[in-house]
Amino acid sequence: MPDDLSPRGPETVALTLTVNGASHALRVPAWTTLLDLLREGLGLTGSKKGCDHGQCGACTVILDGKRVNSCLVLAARSDGSEVRTVEGLASPDGALHPLQEAFIKHDAFQCGYCTPGQLCSGVALLQEGHTRTEDEIREWMSGNLCRCGAYPNILAAILEVARKEGRA
Amino acid sequence: MRPFHYERPRALEEAIAGKTEASRFLGGGTNLIDLMKYDVERPASLLDLNRLEGLREVERDREGTLRIGALVSNADAAAHPLVREHHPLLADAILAGATPQLRNMATMGGNLLQRTRCYYFYDRLTPCNKREPGTGCPAKEGVNRIHAILGTSEHCIATHPSDMCVALAALEAVVVVRGPSGERRIRTEDFHRLPGDAPERDTTLDAREVVTAIEIPARLYGRHHTYLKLRDRLSYAFALVSVAVTMEMQEGRVSRLRVALGGVAHKPWRVPEAEALLEGRGPEEARFGAVADRLLQGARGYGHNDFKIGLARLAIARALHQAAAATPQSHVAKRIA
Amino acid sequence: MMHHPLIGTPQDRVDGRAKVTGTARYVADFETGAEVLHAHVLNSAIAIGRIRRIDTTRALAVPGVVEVFTHENRPRTAWFSSSYKDDVGPPGKPLRPLYDSSISYSGEPVALVVAESYETARYAANLVEVEYEAKPHETDLLKQLPNSYVPKKRRSGINPPPRPKGSAASALESAPVKHVARYLIAAEHHNPMEMHATTVIREADGKLLIHDKIQGVYASKQYVCSVFGLSEDKVRVVSPFIGGAFGSGLRPHYQLFLAVMAAMALERSVKLVLTRDQQFTIAHRPETWNEVALGAKPDGTLTAIRHKAIGSTSRYEDHQEAVVNWTNLLYSAPDVQLEYELVQLDIETPTDMRAPGAPLGAFAAESAMDELAEKLGVDPLALRLHNDTQTDEVMNKYHTSKELRAACQLGAERFGWRHRPFAPRSMRQGRELIGWGLAFGAWEAQMQKHAARVMLDAEGHCTVGVATADLGTGTYTILAQIAAEALGLSMNKVTVLLGDSALPQAPVSGGSWTAASAGSAVHDACARLKAELLLAAQTQRGSPLVDAKLEEVMFDRERIVLMRDPMRAVSLQAAFAAGGRPRIVADGQAGPDQLTQLRYSSHTHSAVFVEARVDEELGQVRVTRAVSAVAAGRILNPKTARSQVVGGVVWGIGMALHEEAMADHNLGRWMNHNIAEYHIPAHADIHEIDVIFAEEKDMLTSPLGVKGLGEIGIVGTAAAVANAVWHATGRRVRELPMTIDKVLGLTPAHTEAR
């Protein structure tokens, strides 16, 4: 494959993006990922970079209703999209999402670094309805690694919310 | 990641016209963006296909052929009622791979084109014939736990990492591609290639062609199918060995058997002669070993991956059993049926 | 009357809200926007040799690149390697990044690109051209075993094996029943979810505000001051949240050096976040080989223990861990020989990783105990209890407390151990064989010198400050509990500040010592504060507490109450008004008690029980149940304590089944350097984990009766999994991780039994 190896800067791309209800008109370098745009561009550092390669799930956000690894989404590709991040889970008055409450109650995190991704993934999981059995939750949450090993507590938290919502 | 030109073609024709050797089509990006960050893929431009119309349909024609658009996400394909009803094997294989997040992003077309997970291919500070032809293949004498045992060459022992493609091989799917000179259909087994002396090429797709759809012929395997995947952890890991089976039965006899192996070669591995060993007979467990032996004929290990030969043999027998017993492996319950 | 106690009751994490809303700030979350420069490291492609030529021309030509640092143009830093030393580093010469053209391991940094954006820096790093002159390297521990040696200089804080007792060799010779085998544990990488990173903010006056991923901010501060010759007032390190570390943040790593170097040279703020792949170039748990020999009488009484371990280290530092001592700590025998040696390889220096040494030794010894039990025909739990020590036979000291038996009984009961058939392959369900295994574990209960400050104002707002770190360990929460209970406040009145070098000094948080040490320092500060407050209350005209002594009052619901006559009380507000000060500040401290240490040794203990299900034909292992019964003194917060142990068990399962850094010995390089191919347990791998805390009263270990919980959960778990897999299948796997091929016996073992 012929490489163009001459040192040069990136071109930029214009896009609009709605993040947690707020719309943004932006111009970003084409090589910017959604994760880096959220964090470095918009200062929304809740979404975490745990590997930058889709290997851990810490960067999970909900893009147009679906959970994705924001580290592998080019910002340019998300033009016109709606993004929900961990900062957008609680209601504007500060009331936590039931899953956030359940995470605290069940101690579903330790260091807290994978937590934003676990929460976004869990909120999407509840929507998807993949919470019928414990095995199903385990499998469908396996895209979010937790090095502290909070898995049993994450399961308990999701199960509690799923039961309350009649999804388990 | 190298600087690149980003474009959003408005029509397929425009995308094809704009495609060069140095550009890449962008679908889900789960593998391409990953490899660009590692400086393995260095496209001069990206042609983002995500806005194109007409590549997101799942349809079934009068002959029962299922056609899945190239831009349908892996998640949507696995959840689609037509797929679940007529080709549960495909749904199972897709769900055995990656994660919900990645499946939401990854497209059917992109999955066909995903590149190997070979450690050396991914590490630009090591030699690799696939990444930089002519530099050598340290995997042969190096760390090769995940590498191929079949169809290898002296230049490359990488495997194809897809689960989906293994199922497509067993389903005898056809890849529909479009290029400057029109459409062509490629059987999945001809779509992926063995490394030979050109390991840099994964497929027989021309640089200016784009995958538009996958077509799966009607098959009446009912519940006589399975996708059995063995890996180093119970989820979110690539296959060490996987087996896709469809077993069509007529009056207690196997009328058509298709077995494809994943994790063992540069492409999903099928051996028609092995399948023929069971066709026309009852699904006799006693013959499963012979099928496995024929599938694995010529297999060789490179040290760390020696075990794959024995493991594949066991996995094939179990998968045949699952298909015969109509107890397809669940991707949720990790107990192996 | 007495308010509801906080210590010992389950409390939600006080930092929980910050963590579930994404507002907890980790190193890379500081300083976003256009002001900060981003740096990216280029690592060495060879293991050993030198850089013959390095060309940065093309990288420098990329628009947005500010500078490329290499050994040729790096700013001058400290000359002597001793200036690069940290408190927990082993003997040797620490890595001096970009110091000269020599390369000591594959992955050593060779260049740092600094640019206006992260993407630009990452791109330009690929344009740096390096020519190497490689020399022959050696990265294979097994090949180098004949060259092992006893480290000349012991590492501070690590006890070398004791002198031999009696003659293990002759006792083994004459032992009626014996077992000898070798055990091997793969190298592992910590891989906390947060990648190692440093953000250096260069303030207007030239001072540096540093956010560093470190388990104790003073370690970074001391390193930066020493290496760059800065006075203490020029550097402040603030790291309020650490996204896991597990030992990888005990020592400052090269990203700290490089980020500070760049910030100083360029007079700009710099952020350097290592990639996931680069996590494999800073620290790992050393690959470790063990040989265990056990001799016993027919009744199961141990007559001899010999345990030798050989761990790998780098060429430039002698990293040491306590691997073998645990065997005699847990089991009594008259003739004992424990040995620990090192092999030098061309790799980066290993670093402590969760319970350094202990699970390696425990995997060997606790597997061996099971193998001996099989030969003796006795239940493995009975054999362990029969040989259980009453005193610390390694150090010749009494235990401050040891409720292992009680823990064991509770654990066995909960697990249902008495229903375990003796013979392997006795239980199955469908195609899965089911096995039950157990193992014991122990870890040191330590105190380290800590200082703390507590401030209270008239409204009852309390601020607690200690420079230690909460790594996810729950330190914020337990310190709030301790202060709130001591001062009679509700939890929401207490604010805990951690991870700031402007706070009272603490060492790195590790070794399970933080709860006992920082907790005791806070407790001490509260006691002093209470004394001052009582004095203030007594200056009130006609104070109802005028003749009260400190031990006669209690602090309850923002009042000081005379215990024998609760009607006599002074509110905090009144006490402050009388004292005439808006707030009271008290300093406290805690540290090891040397007199106690002379006579006693102190440890946490555990018995862990595991159920494994193994597909009979295909060798797929599922750990479907685990009970970890722990004796660890007083439990401050059962909720976070349980999480600590659960996490340890998950680590043990990962060690048993998944984790393995694989080296290409031809290239001298780890190859699966990412977390797609280096496997840690995923959600699907983890099932029910039960944690039991046995009651254990211990007022000798620490003033609070606390022993610490960060390590104990992992120690015996991998061995218990191996024992369960054996019980399920009848196949003994002596090499970790027990991947499918090893469980099926499809991969030849490097170890064998005799």
Q: What is the mean pLDDT of residues C159-173?
A: 97
First vs last C-alpha separation in chain B: 44
User: In this model, does residue C754 exceed pLDDT 60?
Assistant: no
Q: What is the pLDDT of residue A1?
A: 38
Cβ(A16)–Cβ(A26) under 8 Å? yes
Domain positions in chain A: 12-88, 98-164
Cβ(B274)–Cβ(B259) under 8 Å? yes
Q: What is the 3-state secondary structure (H, E, C) of C608-636?
A: EEEEEEEECCCCCEEEEEEEEEEECECCC
Farthest-apart Cα atoms in chain C, separation: 85
pLDDT digits (tens, 9 = 90+) for C171-202: 999 999 999 999 999 999 999 999 999 999 99
Which residue, among C697, C678, C580, has the nearest Cα to C633 in the 3D structure? C697
pLDDT digits (tens, 9 = 90+) for C328-369: 999 999 999 999 999 999 999 999 999 999 999 999 999 999
Q: What is the pLDDT of residue C303?
A: 98
**DSSP secondary structure letter of residue B257:** E
Q: What is the pLDDT of residue B220?
A: 93
Residue B269: inside a domain: yes
Q: Which residues contact B85 (CB under 8 A, 6 or more apart)?
A: none
CB proximity B15 to A under 8 Å: no
Mutating which of C21, C509, C675, C714 best tests the A interface, going by the most A Cβ atoms within 10 A? C21
User: In this model, does residue A48 exceed pLDDT 60?
Assistant: yes
CB proximity B293 to A under 8 Å: no
Q: Look at C666 and B335 and tell me if their CB atoms are within 8 Å.
A: no
Confidence of residue C78 (pLDDT cuts 50, 70, 90): confident
Q: Find the Cα–Cα–Cα–Cα dihedral B167, B169, B170, B174, rounded to 10°.
A: 100
Instruction: Give the C-alpha separation, C652 to C650, whole Å.
Output: 5
Q: What is the pLDDT of residue C753?
A: 58
Q: Look at C740 and B311 and tell me if their CB atoms are within 8 Å.
A: yes
Q: Look at A143 and B29 and tell me if their CB atoms are within 8 Å.
A: no
Cβ(C686)–Cβ(A151) under 8 Å? yes
Q: Look at B104 and A121 and tell me if their CB atoms are within 8 Å.
A: no
Place of tokens 């040799």: C49
Cβ(C356)–Cβ(C248) under 8 Å? no
Instruction: Report the phi/psi class of residue C488: left, alpha or beta, with left for phi > 0 and alpha for psi in -120 to 50.
Output: left
Residue B252: inside a domain: yes
Q: What is the mean pLDDT of residues C394-415?
A: 97
Q: What is the mean pLDDT of residues B47-63?
A: 96
Q: What is the mean pLDDT of residues C702-721?
A: 97
CB < 8 Å to C648, chain A: 149
Q: Look at A110 and C193 and tell me if their CB atoms are within 8 Å.
A: no
Give the amino acid at C621: V
| Domain enclosing residue B271, as ranges | 225-324
User: In this model, does residue C616 exceed pLDDT 70?
Assistant: yes
Q: Look at A54 and B6 and tell me if their CB atoms are within 8 Å.
A: no
CATH of the domain at B231: 3.30.390.50
Instruction: Give the C-alpha separation, A99 to C700, whole Å.
Output: 42
Cβ(C340)–Cβ(C697) under 8 Å? no
List the structure tokens of C7: 């210590």
pLDDT digits (tens, 9 = 90+) for B220-277: 999 999 999 999 999 999 999 999 999 999 999 999 999 999 999 999 999 999 999 9
pLDDT digits (tens, 9 = 90+) for A124-167: 999 999 999 999 999 999 999 999 999 999 999 999 999 999 88
- Cα separations in angstroms, A100 against A117, A160, C470: 12, 12, 20
CB < 8 Å to C669, chain B: 123, 125-126
Q: How many C-beta atoms surround the C-beta of residue B222 within 10 A?
A: 12
CB proximity A52 to C under 8 Å: yes
Is residue C4 packed enough to be buried (19+ CB in 10 Å), middle (13-18) or exposed (0-12)? exposed
CB < 8 Å to A150, chain C: 643, 646-647
Q: What is the mean pLDDT of residues A7-31?
A: 93
pLDDT digits (tens, 9 = 90+) for C268-321: 999 999 999 999 999 999 999 999 999 999 999 999 999 999 999 999 999 999
User: In this model, does residue A4 exceed pLDDT 60?
Assistant: no
The DSSP bridge partners found for residue C398 are: C600
Q: What is the pLDDT of residue A3?
A: 45
Asked if omega into B268 is within 30° of 0 (cis), the reply is no
Q: What is the pLDDT of residue C3?
A: 57
Chain B interface with C: residues with Cβ < 8 Å: 1-3, 37, 39, 117, 119-120, 122-126, 138, 141-143, 145-146, 230, 232-238, 240, 304, 306-307, 310-311, 314-315, 317-318, 334-336
Cβ(C160)–Cβ(C329) under 8 Å? no
CB < 8 Å to C615, chain B: 335-336
Residue B184: inside a domain: no
CB proximity C490 to B under 8 Å: no
| φ, ψ dihedrals at C576, nearest 5° | -65, -40
Q: Look at A53 and C117 and tell me if their CB atoms are within 8 Å.
A: no
| φ, ψ dihedrals at B320, nearest 5° | -65, -40
Which residue, among A118, A151, A121, A117, has the nearest Cα to A134 in the 3D structure? A151
CATH number of A98-164: 1.10.150.120
Cβ(B62)–Cβ(B133) under 8 Å? no
Cβ(B21)–Cβ(B207) under 8 Å? yes
H or E stretch covering C596: helix C594-599
**SS3 (DSSP) at C216:** strand
Name the average pLDDT for chain A. 95
Instruction: Give the C-alpha separation, A64 to A83, whole Å.
Output: 6
Q: Which residues contact C592 (CB under 8 A, 6 or more apart)?
A: C446, C447, C448, C449
Q: Name the residue of chain B whose CA is nearest to C748's CA.
A: B307
User: In this model, does residue C535 exceed pLDDT 90?
Assistant: yes
Which residue, among C454, C415, C453, has the nearest Cα to C435 in the 3D structure? C415
Farthest-apart Cα atoms in chain B, separation: 61
Give the amino acid at C68: V
DSSP symbols for A74-119: BGGGGTTEEEE-GGGTS-TTSPPPHHHHHHHHTT--SS-SSHHHHH
Instruction: Give the C-alpha separation, C657 to C738, whole Å.
Output: 5
Q: What is the pLDDT of residue B235?
A: 98
pLDDT digits (tens, 9 = 90+) for B190-233: 999 999 999 999 999 999 999 999 999 999 999 999 999 999 99
CB < 8 Å to C617, chain B: 314, 317-318
Chain B: partners with 3+ C-beta pairs within 8 Å = A, C
List the structure tokens of B243: 């087996």
Cβ(C625)–Cβ(C702) under 8 Å? no
List the structure tokens of C467: 């420079």
What percentage of chain A has pLDDT greater than the value 70? Answer: 96
Instruction: Report the phi/psi class of residue B244: left, alpha or beta, with left for phi > 0 and alpha for psi in -120 to 50.
Output: beta
CB < 8 Å to C431, chain B: 335-336
Q: Which residues of C are catalytic?
A: 711
Pairing relation of β-strands C270-273 and C462-465?
Answer: unpaired
CB < 8 Å to C622, chain B: 234, 334-335
Alpha-carbon distance A151 to nearest alpha carbon in chain C (angstroms) = 6
H or E stretch covering C427: strand C427-429
Tell me the torsion sign for CA atoms A76, A81, A87, A93.
Answer: positive
List the structure tokens of B292: 């496995």
Cβ(B61)–Cβ(B216) under 8 Å? no
How many domains in chain B?
1
Q: How many C-beta atoms surround the C-beta of residue B250 within 10 A?
A: 10
Residue B264: inside a domain: yes
Instruction: Give the C-alpha separation, B19 to B26, whole Å.
Output: 11
CB proximity A166 to B under 8 Å: no
Q: Look at A53 and B98 and tell me if their CB atoms are within 8 Å.
A: no
Q: What is the mean pLDDT of residues A65-72?
A: 98
DSSP symbols for B123-152: -TTS--TTTSTTS--GGGGS--TT--SSS-
The DSSP bridge partners found for residue A17 are: A24, A81
Q: What is the 3-state secondary structure (H, E, C) of C484-537?
A: HHHHCCCHHHEEEECCECCCCCCCCCCCCCHHHHHHHHHHHHHHHHHHHHHHHH
Q: Name the residue of chain C whose CA is nearest to A88's CA.
A: C21
pLDDT digits (tens, 9 = 90+) for C91-103: 999 999 999 999 9
| Structural domains of chain C, with CATH | 27-136+196-273 (3.90.1170.50), 145-188+285-446+598-743 (3.30.365.10), 448-591 (3.30.365.10)
Which residue, among C222, C213, C228, has the nearest Cα to C283 in the 3D structure? C213
Q: Look at A31 and B34 and tell me if their CB atoms are within 8 Å.
A: no
Alpha-carbon distance A105 to nearest alpha carbon in chain C (angstroms) = 6
What kind of fold does domain A12-88 have according to CATH?
Ubiquitin-like (UB roll) (3.10.20)
Q: Look at B104 and A143 and tell me if their CB atoms are within 8 Å.
A: no
Q: Which strands make up the sheet holding C688-693, listed edge to edge?
A: C427-429, C432-444, C603-615, C621-631, C688-693
User: In this model, does residue C1 exceed pLDDT 50?
Assistant: no
Instruction: Give the C-alpha separation, C512 to C701, whole Å.
Output: 13
